Amino acid sequence: SWVFTFDPAGRLAVYSITEFLCNDLQWYSLAARAWVEKWADLGPTAGFVLRFSPDGARLALPSCEQLTAHDLAGRTLLQSRDLPDGSPVLLDYSPDGRWLVYGAG
């Protein structure tokens, strides 16, 4: 599968390349009109959705078994939670960015 989204400021597009047991993210800068970064091998096959927090500081990325939130400034994993119901098909942050909700199963 291929999934993409734009950051809230409209500066970056994130493109998820999902193949069996592999998940890579590629970052595209709209200003530079070029691919600027790649996060490789982020774990088992991800779902069909990924989301930026409203402030653009975090990115939520699901896998078959976990939902992870990454800090974009430090390029670090903030949290990881097990997903008992399978891969999310719905994923979004609350408008204030305090909550991340998903629907699965």
Instruction: Write the pLDDT tens digit of every residue in 63-88.
Output: 767 788 889 888 888 888 887 766 66
Closest CA to 34 of 50, 53, 15: 15
The model's confidence at residue 44, banded by pLDDT at 50, 70 and 90, is: low
Q: What predicted TM-score, i.e. pTM, was given to this entire model?
A: 0.78
Q: What is the mean pLDDT of residues 11-28?
A: 74
Check: CB of residue 59 under 8 Å from CB of residue 50: yes
Q: What is the share, in percent, of the chain residues with pLDDT greater than 70?
A: 75
Q: Would you say residue 105 has pLDDT above 80? A: no
CA separation, residue 76 to residues 2, 20, 31, 79, 105 (Å): 23, 24, 24, 9, 28
What pLDDT shows up at residue 20? 55
